[in-house]
Structure 1
């Protein structure tokens, strides 16, 4: 199929990427999280600073513009400090070791000096901490870690994941960091110190299947474990409440790695929302023709515009059976994790605030969150390991 000449990413995606950079995050970190080339993101930031993401010529910089640039830099630093405080949660109530652990985990996201200043610790002390921990994050192999040190590690993981992990995942994360400790000890320590994952809650469905549009068969038939990436994708829509009104999220998931390869956020649950999510996924992954795209029977997915896009991309449509949520269980599970682990109990005064949380969690989910179906590795780590293996076998 010939490649299209239109823009590779939706305008919303470009604006979100630029906003993350101007908010204080490093270009390299944002590019990695969103699957972009660093130069592409640099170009977007440059275009946005010159009046929009339209490729306009950058005018000669005046003294006034230089002052504006300086003020923007200062604003970016303030936003960065705000984001650090936001991610740190209740870390100010913890000891210095917890703060150092948090800084170490985010050293590729924010400058160490800014993190230390924001969290009220010295950069020199942090460097000494790193030297002490050099070679391992825990006690030597075979040596039992003390209760205070273990509690520090557990609190750090709980803070970093924003309370997403219960004791089974915390234990696995400790093992991944070379902390040798038993499951029962982790469970007991988290219980005794009231450290627990966010609670469950119920959510209503958003699918509107009461329409007269044609629907696809279900060739997927719950075969949720394809053998290669980009063979089966699945999509769905969910909602987030804000004081400005509903915010809707459409996602596209690769069933092989469970990675969110495309997404779109909007104020209305329209066919354009799911079209933008699929377009983002296709432009990022460029799958071969014949791939299956599975969804529910919602009018957005059954619309003629969306079905035309599937044909344009050479994809085969698949839809869940009527009133059978298990046929699209993977996306339902993703939304449940998002709402339970991150959004539950949060109140958003604006859609912008809700978008920030959703995008932050999607980056965490793809890059770091342990997935039980993938042997407790993250979606991107799972796919990267598979590709290394395939490359070795082909050599």
Structure 2
């Protein structure tokens, strides 16, 4: 992401949930180290209810190849797979998301500072998760989709007069 006032690019790393298409976390910094990637993953795993095992798909950036990051994922019992070089179709969800970021944020703003870019980006992510509808989610936002999925999966126990119980979806 180009920061006009500083005449340089900032780096963006995003954790995207493939199921809901929602943004779970991000970092926008001048540089992103393996420690920042681990901190981001800790934040995501702490704030969101996750399945027992999570699969992470990344490009082959040095932050993801670092032994410290790989050890962290092993400790957390998460799987990690790399996409092949020059094959964006292997990571189509994040590629699509970053294309949306490019047209909805980067092409519309000239940021004077990294802090200003983060403020705008926070507002964008809130809109993206709460209000931006996705055709692949039945014209729902990621949060609406997740809420609907949770409601669909909830089972209600209904007592009957003869003391038996039925399960209703």
- Scaled to the shorter chain, the TM-score interval is 0.7 to 0.9
Does residue 256 of the first structure (1) align with residue 10 of the second (2)? no
d(CA) in 1 for partners of 2:9, 2:95: 18
The count of residues paired between Structure 1 and Structure 2 equals 157
Partner residue in 2 for 1:293: 56
Partner residue in 1 for 2:4: 242
Over residues 56-92 of structure 1, what are the superposed CA-to-partner deviations in whole Å (9 max), with x where a residue is unaligned? xxxxxxxxxxxxxxxxxxxxxxxxxxxxxxxxxxxxx
Partner residue in 2 for 1:326: 89
1:381 to 123, 129, 144: 144
d(CA) in 2 for partners of 1:314, 1:332: 26
d(CA) in 1 for partners of 2:86, 2:102: 22
The answer to whether the 8 A contact 1:251-1:277 is kept is no
1:276 to 32, 39, 46: 39
Taking only aligned residues, the RMSD between alpha carbons, in angstroms, comes to 1.7
Q: 1:281 to 1:309 in 2, by over 3 A?
A: same
Shift of 1:311: 1.1
Over residues 101-145 of structure 1, what are the superposed CA-to-partner deviations in whole Å (9 max), with x where a residue is unaligned? xxxxxxxxxxxxxxxxxxxxxxxxxxxxxxxxxxxxxxxxxxxxx
The answer to whether the 8 A contact 2:3-2:113 is kept is no
Equivalent residues in 2 for 1:101-250 (5 A)? 239-244=1-6, 245-250=8-13
2:111 to 348, 370, 375: 348
The normalised TM-score by structure 2 is 0.84
Equivalent residues in 2 for 1:36-115 (5 A)? none
Q: Which has the larger radius of gyration?
A: 1
Unpaired runs of 5+ residues, structure 1, are 1-238
Higher relative contact order (CA 8 A, sep 6+): 2
d(CA) in 2 for partners of 1:354, 1:305: 29
d(CA) in 2 for partners of 1:386, 1:286: 14
Shift of 1:286: 4.1
The answer to whether the 8 A contact 1:250-1:273 is kept is no
The normalised TM-score by structure 1 is 0.38
Unpaired runs of 5+ residues, structure 2, are 157-166
Q: Secondary structure at the match of 1:243?
A: helix
Structure with more strand by fraction: 2
Partner residue in 2 for 1:134: none
d(CA) in 1 for partners of 2:12, 2:104: 16
